[in-house]
Amino acid sequence: MKMTYDDYKMMFDSFNSSEGYYQACKILSFDSLWREKEDYRNKMESSIKETLNRLGKSKMRGADVCCGDYAWVPRHFSDYFSDIYCVDIDSRALDSEVVRVKKNCIVLNQNADQVDIHVDFLFSGNNVYEYFILNIANCVNPNGTIFLMKPLEGDDISLRSISKGYDINQRNSESNKISNLLSKYFKTSEKEVVFNWDYSNVNLDRLLASLSVVSFGERTLFDDGQYAKSVDYLKKKCKGDTLTLTQICKIWEGVKDG
Ligand SMILES: C[S@@+](CC[C@H](N)C(=O)[O-])C[C@H]1O[C@@H](n2cnc3c(N)ncnc32)[C@H](O)[C@@H]1O
């Protein structure tokens, strides 16, 4: 596996735009086999069906907050919803094919801490932050469901800490604050799950450049020292030409008080 800083930098530059960001998201989402994707999908679907049963409805109003261009709820579950609010601060995410094709999507180009909607099922995955929890909690109707997923640990987070000195503990502290805030309004269950992504025939420069624009808090071009440390780290995660990236994520599932 030949890697060079110049290749990494060239790819970083190509992803370092609003359009490039979503290209990098697609590489991270689709160029791999996500081993537990079906389990995650099933968990979300059970939660949606339980919500419909609890409310005695055949369809409900839902929201996918910080939907990104993958847009989980419209992509996999649109038939369970009369309308789905797709909320993202970046308008390009809302121009994704899935959001355009599904006819029940309502696009809201807003910050999650400002959005003012009322839904029976609210999903937010990956980018879940304490600063908007109270606002999105207010968006869920009585007896409705909130379903959140946030990575707590993982190879992308370790890379961020090795290369940029990011403090991993702040994630656990934020996660505890999220649990406390949710417990004021919801009967919540929480669970930690392990996710693995296998990238076969991986181009490590391309993958590291994708992580650098999507996964390190803000777009971050590593200098050559940070690049060398990251390459060492990633090479240890490879078996042959397959790289496996792992995350431990927390899933919160809560039913709003009646
Ligand atoms: C990694 S992407 C998509 C994640 C997607 N929900 C998933 O589970 O795969 C994260 C998205 O969150 C959006 N985002 C981040 N902070 C936000 C905020 N405060 N309000 C709304 N959207 C936000 C970004 O613009 C980006 O499109």
Query: Which pLDDT tens digit goes with each residue over 91-126?
Result: 988 998 999 999 999 999 999 999 999 999 999 999
**Whether the Cβ atoms of residue 248 and residue 155 lie closer than 8 Å to each other:** no
> Could you give phi then psi for residue 182, rounded to 5 degrees?
-65, -40
Mean pLDDT of 229-235: 93
Tell me what pLDDT residue 165 has: 83
In which domain, by residue range, is 104 found? 5-256
Is the beta carbon of 153 within 6 A of some atom in ligand 1? no
Out of 19, 41, 66, 133, mutate this one to test ligand 1's pocket (max ligand atoms within 8 Å of CB): namely 66
Nearest one of 192, 206, 191 to 32, comparing CA atoms: 206
Average pLDDT of the chain is: 94
Is the beta carbon of 252 within 6 A of some atom in ligand 1? no
Tell me what pLDDT residue 43 has: 98
Q: What is the pLDDT of residues 18-48, one digit of tens each?
A: 889 989 998 998 899 999 999 999 999 999 9
Q: In the 8-state DSSP scheme, what is residue 118? A: -
Band the pLDDT of 69: cuts 50, 70, 90: confident
Out of 75, 89, 122, 210, mutate this one to test ligand 1's pocket (max ligand atoms within 8 Å of CB): namely 89
Is the beta carbon of 68 within 6 A of some atom in ligand 1? yes
Task: For ligand 1, atom 12, name the residue with the nearest CA.
Answer: 66
**Whether the Cβ atoms of residue 84 and residue 102 lie closer than 8 Å to each other:** yes
Is the beta carbon of 111 within 6 A of some atom in ligand 1? yes
- Asked whether residue 1 carries a pLDDT value surpassing 80, the answer given is no
Within 8 A by CB and 6+ apart from 12, the residues are 209, 212, 213, 221
pTM: 0.93
Number of other residues whose CB lies within 10 A of the CB of residue 50 = 14
Question: Which domain CATH number covers 252?
Answer: 3.40.50.150
What spacing in Å lies between the alpha carbon of 239 and ligand 1's midpoint? 31
Mean pLDDT of 170-191: 96
- Strand (E) or helix (H) holding 156: helix 155-164
Mean pLDDT of 156-171: 87
The four Cα atoms 172, 177, 179, 183 give a dihedral, to 10 degrees, of 170
Question: What is the SS3 assignment for 58?
Answer: coil
- Asked whether residue 231 carries a pLDDT value surpassing 80, the answer given is yes
> Could you give phi then psi for residue 216, rounded to 5 degrees?
-110, 30
Token duo for residue 40: 């995650």
From the alpha carbon of 67, which atom of ligand 1 is closest?
6
From the alpha carbon of 124, which atom of ligand 1 is closest?
6
Token duo for residue 147: 């379903």
From the alpha carbon of 88, which atom of ligand 1 is closest?
22
Q: How many domains does the chain have?
A: 1
